């Protein structure tokens, strides 16, 4: 069982950068694949990025590829999302999530979720 807590969100201007952190507590964090998702009112929670337990494999949504970087530090029980060249379309509540067994990078396949951190990008 793992508990996740996101931080680092805020209000920025288009073109700015922001780094989100997700701190994990509990057990066996290093065994979990981790993902970032985002959601705005009236829309489905959408995949942003994911990273395997070892950090050797990463995956990104096409809309953020080349701008966002996911990473993890298992010694610190933390996963990060570095967001560069932010656009207004990136606005939303960002959630980190963990999955013990990989099946797919969709919300229903993730087992544990944080409460989210708000990211707002102004034009």
Mean pLDDT value across the chain: 93
Instruction: Residue 60: name the closest of 77, 23, 35, 95 by CA.
Output: 35
- The model's pLDDT over 59-112, given as tens digits with 9 standing for 90+, comes to 999 999 999 999 999 889 999 999 999 999 999 999 999 998 888 889 999 999
Task: At 72, list the tokens.
Answer: 């993890």
Give the dihedral of Cα atoms 86, 36, 68, 32; nearest 10 deg: 160
> What's the pLDDT at 102?
83
What would the DSSP string read from start to end of 42-86? TS--EEEEEE-TTSS-EEE-TTTTTTEEEEEEGGGTEEEEEE-S-
3-state SS, residue 111: coil
- E strand or H helix at 37, and its extent? strand 33-39
> What's the pLDDT at 100?
87
**What share of the chain has pLDDT > 90, as a percent?**
78
β-strand 10-13 against 117-122: which pairing, if any? Answer: parallel
Average pLDDT over residues 53-61: 92
> What's the pLDDT at 11?
98
> What's the pLDDT at 62?
97
């Amino acid at each position: 069982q793992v508990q996740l807590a996101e931080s680092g969100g805020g209000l920025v201007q288009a073109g700015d950068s922001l780094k989100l952190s997700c701190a994990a507590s509990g057990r066996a964090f290093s065994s979990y694949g981790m993902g970032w998702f985002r959601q705005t009112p009236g829309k489905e929670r959408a995949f942003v990025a994911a990273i395997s337990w070892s950090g050797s494999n990463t995956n990104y949504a096409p809309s953020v590829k080349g701008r966002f970087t996911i990473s993890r530090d298992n010694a610190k029980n933390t996963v990060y999302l570095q967001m560069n060249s932010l656009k207004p379309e990136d606005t939303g509540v960002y959630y980190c999530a963990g999955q013990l067994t990989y099946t797919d990078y969709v919300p229903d396949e993730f087992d544990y979720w944080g409460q989210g951190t708000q990211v707002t990008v102004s034009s």
